[in-house]
């Protein structure tokens, strides 16, 4: 019985200790981390027209008329570099941008230590390890329909819609591949060039990026020639490389 | 802590420990045993005890498994959930088709001797449903090896329109609407919220336990039994002509080969579908031959119904093509006796303990 009393006392004191902590927090607002939001703004073509689902667009190069019904892609492994050369690596850093899901174009990275950051690194696609590591959760769950069932691997970019230029009246491009020459996974870096990213305790800093879906066909044929692609390979590689190449840092908003 | 366990346990008439009379003689022993028994018996009774003796254990003559339950630690509840899911048609669009429909234990977990399986709405599949065993040793799955992980595997049959024709989102919603499954998922993965990840991992727990290692062949390898001269002769022929691909003891190297069935591969490119390399056209994943006597029809399209036909093929039916495995040449020209002995040997791969293993059967409710 004595043991029980002792443990009860311990529990009570533990509770009171943790409630003390809470009070401390309220009175001392010095937080050591902040949040960075990567804001992916989608713009169609060099004229930077609006890009929305279910909106008729004309491709600036192929002249195809296109209406997107699905536009989804993965961004992963986001890292920030401090002026002293050290990196903050965001853990479990996988994001699925899905234009059909409001808010998914804002990638929120909490718990970034306060300080000045000069560079950012991010990966377009899903690193090869996660393509071979079994059932994943969250952004990487297979239920997101971004995983090939018959030929394991993530679909890293999915663009679907309708077009009068396509023989079938529709188009569907599922780009992926993580092995050898078919690997589309692309690591990208941004140097904030003098205008460093300041992370302040308890605040959110925004990094604005622009994404141009028209780039997918920058050096690829009209939908009249190819309107569907469902596997890794040279075409997927070209389209992904062009698309990823067009993703650019725009500005910081603190 | 110990005191409180004693108090609850003395009120517990179910505790098997209190059937014995000599117990109250040594207080220390009681405290000790009660503490242990509270540990062992509080959640599960006999079942988990049996399971403990039976949990994943590498057969001593097998190589290291490929799947080692990384990020999916083996527990009885996870295995048990996976087993129930394997037998439950809830995974299919109209709740008509379970995994077991196309993978029947009595048939070495192949389909019921049909060349092509029927999916939802009786749609006919495109390949023969393979026998399943020793899946923890598979580095890849499917006749073309397109799937790289036992955990992501089940995504394929569940969503294939020719098989279960369901979406993961729907399956998860159906399971989340079931009080029974919520309870089981909670036991297995700590939270009653069903997710596709937990579903896939539970199925992997069941599949990884499908271990066939107690056939006459295994007992022979382990020195527990002897072969007849026909079986012995068959084994020698097998080692000479077959084992380069059907590597012992798993009876597969899990590589890919064209074993001379066709010269025109347009019906099914096989491995070439996955790699897009024309040099892989007509190659298929070398199948395991465990329980092969029961898993007919044979080959990716189920074209042969008897082992005799298979041996006639390897003997003098090899079709020449640019991707044909060179070791097969123009066939082995087996004598009737050699074919007979090979078949006698192949029959030693039948594992009755596996085919009747109650842990792999549908659980009686």
Q: Are residues B48 and B125 in the same domain?
A: no
Q: Examine the domain organization and report whether B163 and B251 are in the same domain.
A: no
Tell me if B164 sits within 8 A of B158, measured CB to CB.
Answer: yes
Say yes or no: B133 and B162 in one domain: yes
Taking only the tens place, the pLDDT of each residue in A107-132 is 999 999 999 999 999 999 999 999 99
pLDDT score of B50 more than 70: no
Residues 6+ apart with CB under 8 A from B30: B6, B23, B24
Note whether B343 and B288 are same-domain residues: yes
Q: How many CB pairs under 8 A join A and B?
A: 75
B178 touches chain A (CB under 8 A): no
Chain B contact present for A235, CB below 8 A: no
CB contact under 8 A, B155 and A4: no
Asked which of B163, B184, B210 is the last residue of a domain, the reply is B210
- pLDDT over threshold 50, residue B199: yes
pLDDT at B80 over 50: yes
H or E element: which one contains A14? helix A2-27
Domain extent for B288: 216-349
CA distances from B167 to A155, A158, B113, B161 (A): 17, 18, 28, 10
Residue of A nearest to B158 (CA): A149
User: Within an 8 Å CB–CB cutoff, is residue A132 touching chain B?
Assistant: yes
CB–CB of A64/A165 below 8 Å? Answer: yes
Chain A interface includes B159 (CB < 8 A): yes
Identify the band that residue B40 occupies on the pLDDT scale cut at 50, 70 and 90.
very low
- Backbone phi and psi for residue A188, each to the nearest 5 degrees, phi listed first: -125, 150
Residues A142, B200: C-beta atoms closer than 8 Å? yes
Task: Mention every residue, 6+ apart, whose C-beta is less than 8 A from residue B78.
Answer: B72, B188, B189, B201, B202, B205
Kindly report, residue by residue over A137-171, the tens digit of the pLDDT: 999 999 999 999 999 999 999 999 999 999 999 99
Q: Is B63 inside a domain boundary?
A: no
- What pLDDT does residue B169 have? 96
CA dihedral B331, B334, B340, B346 (to 10 degrees): -40
Q: Is A54 on the interface with B (CB under 8 A)?
A: no
Residue B86 within a domain: yes
CATH number of the CATH domain containing B286: 1.10.760.10
| Residue B43 pLDDT grade (very low, low, confident, very high; cuts 50, 70, 90) | very low
Interatomic CA distance for residues B248 and B233, integer angstroms: 16
In sequence order, the β-bridge partners of residue A73 are A97, A157
Q: Is the pLDDT of residue A27 over 70?
A: no
B197 vs A contacts (CB less than 8 Å): 135-137, 141
Q: Could you tell me if B111 and B149 lie in one domain?
A: yes
Distance from CA of B149 to the nearest CA of A (A): 5
**Of B210, B231, B265, which residue is a domain's last?**
B210
Residue B59 belongs to some domain of the structure: no
The number of residues making up chain B comes to 365
Tell me the pLDDT of chain A averaged across its residues: 90
Residue of A nearest to B272 (CA): A151
Residue B361 belongs to a domain = no
Residue spans per domain, chain A? 1-30, 33-253
Within 13 Å of residue B57, how many CA atoms lie on the same side as its CB? 8
Query: Is B84 inside any structural domain?
Result: yes
Question: Do B193 and B239 belong together in one domain?
Answer: no
Are B159 and A149 an interchain contact pair (Cβ–Cβ within 8 Å)?
A: yes
Distance CA A7, CA A11 (A): 6
Closest CA to B295 of B41, B110, B27, B83: B110
The reply to whether residue A135 touches residue B70, judged by beta carbons under 8 angstroms, is: no
Chain centre distance of CA A182: 21
Please indicate if any CB of chain A lies within 8 Å of the CB of B4. yes
pLDDT in tens, B271-288: 999 999 999 999 999 999
Nearest alpha carbon to residue B300 among B145, B128, B68: B128
Question: Would you call A172 an interface residue with chain B, using a CB distance cutoff of 8 Å?
Answer: no
pLDDT, greater one: B166 or B365: B166
What whole-number distance in Å separates Cα of residue A223 and Cα of residue A170?
9
Share of chain B above pLDDT 90, in %: 83
Rounded Cα gap, residues A115 and A200, in angstroms: 7
Q: Is B156 on the interface with A (CB under 8 A)?
A: yes
User: What's the gap between Cα B157 and its chain centre?
Assistant: 15
Answer yes or no: do A134 and B151 touch at CB < 8 A: yes
Interface contact B200-A135, CB threshold 8 A:
yes
Domain co-membership, B252 together with B292: yes
- pLDDT(A39) > 50: yes
Percent of chain B having pLDDT more than 70? 85
Q: Does B155 touch chain A (CB under 8 A)?
A: yes
Q: How many domains does chain B have?
A: 3
The alpha-carbon gap from B33 to the nearest alpha carbon of chain A, in Å, equals 19
Q: Quote the DSSP letter at residue B352.
A: H
Domain presence at residue B307 = yes
SS3 label, residue A165: coil
* Widest pairwise Cα distance in chain B: 81
Domain assignment of residue B337, yes or no: yes
Q: What was the ipTM of the complex prediction?
A: 0.81
Instruction: Write down the pLDDT at residue A1.
Output: 41
Give the span between the Cα atoms of B157 and B165, in whole angstroms: 8
B236 touches chain A (CB under 8 A): no
Rounded to whole angstroms, the Cα distance separating B258 from B283 reads 4
Q: pLDDT confidence of B121, banded at 50, 70, 90?
A: confident
* B11 and B93 part of one domain: no
Assess whether pLDDT exceeds 60 at residue A17: no
Tens digit of pLDDT for each residue in B323-357?
Answer: 999 999 999 999 999 999 999 999 999 999 999 99
Residues B220 and B342 in one domain: yes
Q: What's residue A141's pLDDT?
A: 97
Tell me, yes or no, whether B60 lies in a domain. Answer: no
Strand, coil or helix: what is A109? strand
Q: Provide the shortest C-alpha distance from residue A145 to chain B (in Å).
A: 9
Beta-carbon separation of A147 and B204 below 8 A: no
Lowest mean pLDDT among A133-147, B41-55, B188-202: B41-55
Q: What is the mean pLDDT of residues B308-320?
A: 98
The mean pLDDT value for A220-236 works out to: 96
Asked if B152 and A147 come within 8 Å (Cβ–Cβ), the reply is yes
Give contacts of A181 with chain B, Cβ < 8 Å: none
Contact B142 A4 (CB under 8 A): no
Q: Would you place residue B51 in the very low, low, confident or very high pLDDT band (cuts 50, 70, 90)?
A: low
A32: three-class secondary structure by DSSP: coil
- The answer to whether A141 touches B172, Cβ cutoff 8 Å, is no
Least confident of A64-68, B32-36, B302-306: B32-36
Taking CA atoms, A228 is separated from A159, A170, B144, B275, in Å, by 10, 8, 22, 18
N- to C-terminal Cα separation, chain B: 36
Cβ neighbours for A51, distance < 8 A, ≥ 6 positions apart: A42, A43, A44, A57, A68, A71, A212, A213
Nearest residue of A to residue B6, measured between CA atoms: A1
């Amino acid at each position: 019985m004595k043991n029980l009393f002792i443990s009860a006392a311990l529990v009570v004191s533990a509770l009171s200790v943790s409630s003390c902590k809470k009070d401390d927090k309220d009175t001392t607002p010095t937080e050591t981390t902040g949040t960075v939001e990567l804001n992916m703004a989608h713009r169609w073509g060099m004229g930077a027209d609006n890009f929305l689902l279910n909106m008729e667009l004309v491709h600036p190069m192929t002249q195809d008329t296109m209406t997107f019904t699905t536009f989804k892609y993965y961004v992963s492994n986001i890292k920030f570099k401090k002026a002293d050369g050290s990196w903050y690596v965001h853990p479990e850093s996988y994001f699925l941008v899905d234009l059909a899901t409001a808010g998914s174009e804002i990638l929120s990275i909490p718990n970034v230590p306060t300080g000045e950051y000069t560079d950012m690194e991010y990966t377009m696609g899903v690193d090869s390890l996660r393509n071979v590591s079994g059932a994943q959760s969250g952004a990487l769950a297979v239920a997101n329909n971004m995983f090939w069932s018959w030929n394991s691997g993530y679909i890293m970019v999915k663009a679907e819609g309708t077009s009068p230029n396509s023989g079938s009246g529709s188009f569907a491009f599922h780009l992926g591949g993580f092995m050898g020459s078919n690997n589309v996974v692309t690591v990208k870096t941004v140097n904030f060039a003098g205008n460093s990213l300041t992370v302040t305790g308890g605040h959110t800093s925004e990094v604005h990026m622009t994404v141009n879906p028209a780039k997918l066909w920058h050096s690829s044929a009209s939908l009249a020639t190819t309107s569907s692609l469902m596997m890794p390979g040279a075409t997927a590689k070209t389209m992904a490389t062009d698309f990823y190449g067009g993703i650019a840092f725009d500005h910081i908003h603190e | 802590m110990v005191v409180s366990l004693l108090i609850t346990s003395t009120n517990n008439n179910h505790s098997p420990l209190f059937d014995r009379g000599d117990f109250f003689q040594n207080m220390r022993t009681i405290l000790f045993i009660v503490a242990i028994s509270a540990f062992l018996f509080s959640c599960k009774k006999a079942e988990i005890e049996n399971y403990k003796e039976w949990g994943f254990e590498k057969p001593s003559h097998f190589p290291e498994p490929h799947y080692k339950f990384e990020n999916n630690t083996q527990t009885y509840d996870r295995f048990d959930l996976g087993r129930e899911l394997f037998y439950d048609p809830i995974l299919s669009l109209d709740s008509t088709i379970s995994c077991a429909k196309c993978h029947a234990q009595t048939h070495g977990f192949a389909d019921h001797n049909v060349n092509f399986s029927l999916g939802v709405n009786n749609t006919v599949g495109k390949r023969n449903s393979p026998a399943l065993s020793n899946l923890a040793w598979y580095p890849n799955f499917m006749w073309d090896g397109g799937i790289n992980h036992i955990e992501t595997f089940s995504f394929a049959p569940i969503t294939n329109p020719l098989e279960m024709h369901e979406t993961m989102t729907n399956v998860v919603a159906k399971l989340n609407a079931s009080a029974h499954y919520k309870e089981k998922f909670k036991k297995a993965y700590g939270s009653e919220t069903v997710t596709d990840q937990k579903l896939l991992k539970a199925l992997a727990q069941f599949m990884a336990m499908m271990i066939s290692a107690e056939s006459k062949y295994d007992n022979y390898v382990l020195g527990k039994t002897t072969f007849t001269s026909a079986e012995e002769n068959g084994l020698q022929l097998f080692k000479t002509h077959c084992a380069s691909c059907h590597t012992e003891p798993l009876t597969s190297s899990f590589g890919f080969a064209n074993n001379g069935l066709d010269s025109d591969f347009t019906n099914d490119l096989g491995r070439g579908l996955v790699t897009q390399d024309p040099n892989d056209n007509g190659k298929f994943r070398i199948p395991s031959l465990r329980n092969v006597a029961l898993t007919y029809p044979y080959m990716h399209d189920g074209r042969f119904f008897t082992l005799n036909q298979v041996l006639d093929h390897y003997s003098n039916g090899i079709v020449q093509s640019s991707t044909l495995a060179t070791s097969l040449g123009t066939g082995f020209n087996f004598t009737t006796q050699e074919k007979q002995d090979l078949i006698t040997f192949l029959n030693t791969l039948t594992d009755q303990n596996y085919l009747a293993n109650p842990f792999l059967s549908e659980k009686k409710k």
